Amino acid sequence: MFRCRKRSNGNHSKSLYERIFSNCAIQTNAKEQHAILIVKEVTSMLNYTHDIPTKVYFGKGAITHLEEALRQFGTNVLLGYGGGSIKKIGLYDEIMKILNDGGFRVTELSGIEPNPRIESVAKGVELCKENKIDVVLAVGGGSTIDCCKAICSGYYYEGDDLWYMVKHVKGPKKSLPLVDILTISATGSDFDGGGVITNLETNEKLGASFTYPSVSILDPTYTFSVSAYQTAAGSADIMSHIMEGYFSRTEDSELADGIAETILKTVIRNLPIALKEPDNYSARANLMHCESVACSGIPEYGKQSTGWPCHAMEHELSAYYDITHGVGLAILTPRWMRYILKKDPSCEWRFVRFAKNVWGLEGNDEHELALSGIAILEKFFKDNGIPMTLGELNIDETHFRAMADHACEGGRLANAFVPLESDDVVEIYKDCL
């Protein structure tokens, strides 16, 4: 009987061509009496499909497109927004003037929470049904947009348990049309079809595929008012969306890697400027441009999937402790990096590339370079005001095992860049204390 297992060849000095075209070999190991499938860590570029149906209006004054964006779907609008930031910056008044002047009928859903709750989704679906809504307008950050995406899909969901829909109904769903106006640069929800909904009763925070926005309005001036904390957290989220896909075994998807590295460098350059000068248009515009592309899938086209392990681990943290998503990611990422580098040194070449191409580091000792790239990332987050330990968020070991088990449920991280099991995840959480 043959048993197969992965083995790294650890050969990075070969040319790219050699590494790609000598990718797989079967070797007999007489001593172990089984065949070992040697899968070298470098794989060649994979097929992909580009299918993003969202129309994006980017830039100062893009709101002039709002009326036409909505009218194509009807005049009965559900306006969803969060805890009031859109009123403080005058955006709510600007929108209401456009809608009132245009003869739209508006129903409001306010108070959508950061880490949006399933209860808000249920409330929104009810409002849509009661008021025969034609189109949903989400104004805010990822939380508001995600909640509105779930509302759009929930409207057509035939069951009465919306949490069941989030948890079990796979793939894009029949949905009401969605238009959004983004006010914080972070998630990329304006340019993807996913949404993340929280159920505090069950301590679950789950991502699901709902619907793409039909139209997204991205005006960087709306982000001038975002606090330093949320600006830094949002930037960490953008960077994480890139790093989750960048650390992949596929080496020859050159455009994808180039896009990823450019986005990382753009955030690294512009976050400190946005923190120092919150109304610096160029810095805010660059961050917004990056956030939109980072989670769209484009920086991963052609690359082997990676399991997005830091997101899996972070969603557990925010499900239990309701923390800011980007902060959780910033804390986890350097610890995850050090852990996997130790667990599987065959992935070192990726870290070397990260250190060189993203941070401009140089040196002959590849291991030192890999570690320096991680250290400088951690310092960057810290220097930009992000708390970098779970202790600072009052999180202790109490739920680590339950969170780790859930993050790895169904072997979810078994095919990650470096496969992780529950014990690994517990260790990574502990390293974050």
Name the site residues for Zn ion (rule: CB under 5 A): 237
Residue 189 contacts ligand NZQ per CB under 6 A: yes
Cβ proximity of 178 and 151 under 8 Å: no
> From CA 403, how far away is CA 35, in angstroms rounded?
36
In the list ligand NZQ, Zn ion, none, the entry touching 230 (Cβ below 5 to 8 angstroms by class) is ligand NZQ
117 counts as binding ligand NZQ under rule CB under 6 A: no
- H or E element that contains 198: strand 194-199
Closest to ligand NZQ by CB, 35 or 200: 200
Residue 130 φ then ψ, to 5°: -60, -35
Report the C-alpha gap between 243 and 294 in whole angstroms: 10
The verdict on 309 binding ligand NZQ (CB under 6 A) reads: no
Q: Does 216 bind ligand NZQ (CB under 6 A)?
A: no
- Going by the DSSP 8-state scheme, the letter that residue 399 receives in this structure is G
Q: Which is nearer to ligand NZQ, 81 or 429 (CB)?
A: 81
* 307 scored as a contact of ligand NZQ (CB under 6 A): no
User: Which residues inside 192-211 make contact with ligand NZQ, applying CB under 6 A?
Assistant: 192, 194-196
Residue 328 found at the interface with ligand NZQ (CB under 6 A):
no
Residue 220's binding partner among Zn ion, ligand NZQ, none (Cβ under 5 to 8 angstroms by kind) is: none
Q: Which is nearer to Zn ion, 242 or 370 (by Cβ)? A: 242
Q: Alpha helix locations (H) across 160-280?
A: 162-168, 228-246, 254-276
> 247 and 350 in contact (C-beta within 8 Å)?
yes
Q: Which of residues 55-84 bind ligand NZQ (CB under 6 A)?
A: 82-84
Cα–Cα distance, 401 to 275 (Å, whole number): 36
Interacting span for ligand NZQ (CB under 6 A) from 94-102, 180-188, 256-264, 369-377: 180-188
Q: Which residue is nearest to Zn ion (CB)?
A: 237
Under the binding rule (CB under 6 A), the answer on residue 109 touching ligand NZQ is no
342-377 burial: b if 16+ Cβ within 10 Å, else e: eeeebbbbbbbbbbbbbbebeeeeeeebbbbbbbbb
With 0-12 / 13-18 / 19 or more C-beta atoms within 10 angstroms meaning exposed / middle / buried, residue 276 is: exposed
> Residues interacting with ligand NZQ, by CB under 6 A?
82-85, 89, 114-115, 140-144, 146, 183-184, 186-189, 192, 194-196, 222-223, 225-226, 230, 234, 237, 295, 311, 325-326
